[in-house]
Amino acid sequence: MIKKLLSWHRFPFWVFHLPTVPYIAWLALRARSPLFMTAANPLMSENAFRRTAKSRVLRGLPDEVLPATRIWTPEEGTEALLRWLERSELPFPLVVKPHSGERGRGVERLRDASELEGWASSVRGEWMVQELVDLPLELGVLYHRFPGRSRGRITSLARKHLPAVTGDGRRDLGTLIREQIPSRLRARLLSINSHRLGSVPPNGETVVVDFVAQPFLGSRIECLNDRITPRMEETFDRLTSGIEGFCYGRFDLKAQSLEKLERGEGLRVLELNLNASMPLHIWDPKYGTIATYRELLRDWQLLAEISAANRREGTPLMTLSQGLAQLRARRQLPVGPGGGRS
């Protein structure tokens, strides 16, 4: 009971980070800069804590691991998008997300041209329009490679299980969401599933009620660190070999299976998050508070070491004025109607 009450998974996000502050401050003193981590990815160092332009980060990965994507602004109009869909032979549904964003904010799924028109009329800024990748496994893979080395390591491998409810053959989906989903998530999931709330799932059927796999949005995380192999690490060595200046980040991807992922087959990279990435496996409920902070502090130490190694190679740190400007820019992310349905 005490372990459950003390579990950090119940903490507000800002409370969770408080215990790491003294260690981060110590690392900053050693590096003589509060932005000691910003040289971890040399050619992307200005992206340390900003909402990174996603297409720029993905540049350098092989085309075959990337979903079909188009960068779009409202000034182009929806006709340009519809023509692109026709040329690319892409069906609905589509996924749209801010070109610069994080933690699933502003991500939406559009089921048809009517929803596309409605969405496009209510957004601003630059967006990514992307095919919906339908593969059975969604994973987070935290990978790093020290500068000058050809081999890297995977330090976190985790599976994301989307929020779901179980039907009983009697109650409709809306009732199941209200009864089986935590109260803080219900309003959002009721909105996302508004088109099918009256449907009655058969007894025992599992119904996925979201498509954005983020732990703070209700996804269950399963640690798979015991499935990390040297061959899997070699796959990520090859994947990242074309990204000049990349040393540290978490791949959010979908795969056919772990066996195919190990061989570098049947996968699609949805996003590559940089310096601000967290090891996803710590969200597994089996991780207690002490184990979680041990992992986090080790990750901060690793980030500091990679950044220091890049500084010795001539990569500068972000200045304090640049850092403050990036933090201000975090508040200017374009979002869809209502801040993003999903």
Instruction: Quote the mean pLDDT of the chain.
Output: 87
What is the C-alpha separation between 246 and 41, in angstroms, rounded? 5
- DSSP per-residue string spanning 282-308: GGSTT--HHHHHHHHHHHHHHHHHHHH
What pLDDT shows up at residue 251? Answer: 96
Structure tokens of 261? 């992922």
What pLDDT does 221 receive?
95
Helix (H) or strand (E) segment spanning residue 252: strand 248-255
- b/e per residue 258-281 (b: at least 16 CB within 10 A): beebbebebbbbbbbbbbbbbbbb
Is the pLDDT higher at 227 or at 44?
A: 227
pLDDT (0 to 100) of residue 202: 97
Residue count of the chain, please give it.
Answer: 342
pLDDT per residue over 272-282, tens digit each?
988 888 899 99
| pLDDT score at 324 | 78
CA 265, CA 259: separation in Å to the nearest integer?
9
**Confidence at 329, pLDDT banded by 50, 70, 90:** low
pLDDT value for 2: 46
How many CB atoms are closer than 10 A to CB 329?
13
Query: 3-state DSSP call for residue 235?
Result: helix
Q: Is residue 10 very low, low, confident or very high in pLDDT (cuts 50, 70, 90)?
A: low
pLDDT at 43: 72
Give the DSSP letter of residue 279. Answer: -
* Alpha-carbon gap, residue 116 to 107, rounded angstroms: 13
Find the mean pLDDT for residues 104-130. Answer: 87
* Per-residue confidence (pLDDT) for residue 342, from 0 to 100: 30
| pLDDT tens by residue, 79-110 | 999 999 999 999 999 999 887 655 556 788 89
d(CA 342, CA 297): 31
* pTM as predicted: 0.88
Report how far residue 329's alpha carbon sits from residue 129's, in angstroms, rounded to the nearest whole number: 22
Q: Is the pLDDT of residue 213 over 50?
A: yes
Percent of the chain with pLDDT over 70: 87
Largest CA distance in the chain: 65
Query: What per-residue confidence (pLDDT) applies to 48?
Result: 45
Residue 240's closest CA among 135, 151, 313, 140?
151
Distances (CA, A) of 17 to 5, 8, 58, 103, 178: 17, 10, 28, 16, 30
